[in-house]
Each structure stands twice: as structure tokens, then as C-alpha cells.
Chains A and B, each alone.
Chain A
Amino acid sequence: MSEIDLVDGNLALKEIQKLDGHTDRVWSLAWNPAAGAGGLPPTLASCSGDKTARIWQQGPSGSWNCTAVLEDAHNRTVRSCAWSPCGKLLATGSFDATTAIWQQIGGDFECVATLEGHENEVKGVAWNSSGSFLATCSRDKSVWIWEMQPGNEFDCASVLHGHTQDVKMVQWHPHLDVLVSVSYDNSIRIWIEDGDLNGWSCVQTLGETSSGHSSTVWALSFSSGGDRMVTCSDDLTMKIWDTTNNPSEDGSWFHLCTLSGYQDRTVFSVNWSRDGIIATGAADDSICLFHETKDSLVGGLSYSLILKKDKAHDMDVNSVQWNPNEPKILASASDDGSIKLWRLTQVP
């Protein structure tokens, strides 16, 4: 953050635009990481209880419009969405137990593959950094790893068992094939490819006894370097986890600190910006921003609140996502059916 002083600055989250169109709660958002390349304008995908996903793009005038509605592939809530690293494919996970893969062909988005295998609601989808693997997770307690083959074919590479309840979200490490899952069973699990026949195994479980969460863990996000991750929970806290070793080694993640007392209802979403700012969205309708501070008294590291936006939405905030290409732009999605775009600015 070169031009913004986080410690002394008087910061504000200014609403740029409200995006209306979904007819039910908006669950999840995903910025297209390839925006800017090949003339692709800034692009955001959203998905909703109205069974659709929508694509939003910034036009030449600077204002945002819905450019596509992705429908007819799912017959229930679309819970999550994720762009492949190249930005050409969008995966959507639905309560209908399937994951759809969408590709823009000509002017339209077409469903080019449907991944079936989960027994019930798919809750999370995530691509690894190279785009070769897609992970999906479900209420059926399992995590599936799909390997992408030529011609939009997806083979199931592994089915991961370990969680004892719904798996709420999966995320890959920003540059290693390390997968993290979080669950209704209150735990966080770290998975790696182990080189054996069946591929993948759990190398670490972060539960309440490892200073972990005491209720459902809803989401996680890695720092841009991948040496830390943050998780958020129904226990109203966020936890920062650190690794000094190779993040894929057994037992390498440990609890660094817990942020609590900021939001008084379930924290549904957490996202770490490229500039090191952690955003959280909660059921108290607020958005909070945190940044690392050096605690001179203890000599340790801590994270402090730099901004709380009360009433960011009229209802629960389900997703907060920083634009990876323009790190002061934040998108948020809510039960009120709207998406908001925000700019973090310094007020004089």
C-alpha cells in the first residue's frame, strides 16, 4: 500500500456501484484473474439462490453491467463459483450436487462440462494455481479432486475423506498443490498429493485443540505469498495461521493469532488482498478490514482493525473479494440480492 497510510490514515470504503439483477440471495463472487490481458475488461462472476450465475463487466464509461446470465445448468441454488487461472473457464457448484464448467464461446457462455459424483449439495469449488486440478466439496463430507484433461474432460483423481460433517469451502495454496478445506465439523484440513497410488492425503487437521475454531468454519484465504492463511467462523472469530516450513509438510501450520470482538454474528467470508489487507463479511451486515501491525511492547505480530463498515448491506454479507488486479477494489455480495463494488480510499 504505497499511497495509503494504514496506521495513521483516515480510511473509507466508498461505494462505487451497486449491481442489481439477482432475484435471490447472492452467495459468492469471483474476479476473473485474467482481466487486462488480451483486452478483457474487469470481470466479476456472481452466483445466487436464484439458480443462476451472472457475469458483470466494466464498460468503457467505467460503469458496470451484467453481460451474461448463466442459467439452465443448475436446478437449485448455485452456491459457489471460481475462474480458472487463465480466466477462460468458470466453475459453478450447486446444491443440485453437480459442478458445471462454463466457457465463453463467441458472445455466449456455454456449459461445456458437468461434473457429477457428489451425493448432495456442492458447497465450494476451487482451481489450483496451474489450472490442472479442480477441487469440489460437499455436504456429503467429501472433497473431490478433478484432473483436467484435453477437450474439457474432467477425471476424478481422488476422493478425500476425513471431515465428519459438511465441507463448507476448499481453497488451493497460491502456488503449491496444497489444498485446504474447512467444515461444519469446526476443523480445517490440509491435503497434499502423497505420491502413492491414490494420490492425496490429509497431512494436518487444525481443530479446537490446535487453537482452532469452536464452531463451523465458513471460509479461508491465503496471503499472497502463501506463508499465512486466515479462516473465519460461526464462533465470530478470525484466525491467522502461519507456516515457517514448507506449507505442504506434515504439521507445518500453526496458530498465530485470533481476531475477535469485531462482528457479533457469523463471519461468512474472509479474503486477503494482494496488499495484505484482510476483509471479512458477516451476518451483522458489516464489512471489516484488518492489517498487520507490529506490537512494539511485546515485539510480536498482531492484526488490527483498520475499518468497519456498518450496514454495508441491508442483510447478511456472504462474500467479500478483493480484485486481484486492482487491489483497492472490493466486491461484496449479500442476502439482500445485491452486489456492491467498493473503493478503499484515504479521506483527508
Chain B
Amino acid sequence: MRVKVGELILALGFLGLMLTLYLAFLWAPSVNINAFESPEAQRIFYWHVPAAWAAFIAFAVLFVGSALWFFKRSPLGWKLHIAGSEAGLACGLMAVWSGCVWGAAEWGTPWDWEDWRLNSFGLLTLLALFLVLGRQSQPDGVESRDTFSTFGLYGFVLVPLTYVATRIWVIRHPGPVIGGDEDSSISGDMALVLLIGALSFTTLIIGHILTSIEITKFEQRMDRLQKKLDGE
């Protein structure tokens, strides 16, 4: 069977993630042991930040797809909506899970219900979960697509809110390491591993979106065949 572009990109992204793991564990420099309760757990940052970055890309795709379907009735828009919600859920869960692992080691608790960044990102991931499960449980139709697209459109409000949360309401989640204030900086080696991680997650998510679009096309072909068989 021929290998498709989406599958190739997915495989490339996955290999990149394996490389990121290797570099994060065995090559990236250790942090100052006095600065953290659990200095080794800090290495999860090379996974957590790229996963959150990829989730934001997926939520942007979800927003664009929802808008295209809702305002233009674009079939491609609906495919992007599905791909964005699935990829957003996967990357969102990765970011939440890795954050909980770090929080448990560093703070002594996996979650802080008073922290804006944690809760707004958690809500975004729950929104993606709702869209994925909702689509699977509802019959496909104009009304259900409109409803899910509306959630995709309004849910995107949480993206900029989550992005600025650590700049405005610094509670427990660490502030930005890149693009923050003058104190926010990381060493060259750390930045390189972070960049490889971000590129790998981005590649993976592009591969996922392409494959997901392909699957939606197949589902629609299947639906057409079913209707033909039913004599409609």
C-alpha cells in the first residue's frame, strides 16, 4: 500500500519527538538545583511547552474551520474543524498530563484550582473533548455542525486568555521563558532542545491534520455509498 504524505509527516514528527526525548534526558544541561524542588522533573518542560504550543495551533485550525463552516458552509472548513478538535484534544492532554507530572514533583500537587493558566487551558482541552465525543454521538447534519462550530468559535476566546494568563495573573504556573520580561531567558542548548520539540510537535500535528482530513473524506464517501445502497 502506498504511503501518503500525511502519514509520512506523522512518522517524521514522531521521530522528532523521540529525538527530543533523548536530548531532553541525556543532552540538555541540568538546571540550578537550588532553584527547583525537583530539578530533574524540570526536563519535562521540553515536552510540555511544545505540546501546549501544538495545542494552540490545533485550536487555531479549529477556529478557522468552525468559521469557514459557520459563515461559508465550506466542506473543507468542516474537515478542519474535525481535525483541529482531535489534534487539540491529543496535544492538550499531553500538555495537561505533563504539567500534572511536573506539578506533583515540584509543587507537591498536580493541579492548582486557583491558577488561571491551568484552568483556562484545562477548559480548552475539555472543549476539544466535548467536540470530539459530541461529533461521535450525534448524527451528522447541518444543525449539529452549526452547534459544534459555534462552540469552536467561542471556545477560541480561551486561547489568548490562556496565553496572557501567566503575564497578568502570575499565581503558580511559571511565567514565559521566551518573549517574556527581561528575566525570561534560557541557555542556548536548552533553547535548541525546546526548538526541536516545538518543530516535532508542529510536524506531528500537521501530519495528523492531513490524515484526519483524509479520514473525513473517507467517512463522507462511505456515507454516500450507504445512501446508494439504501436506494436514497
Q: Do A and B bind each other?
A: no
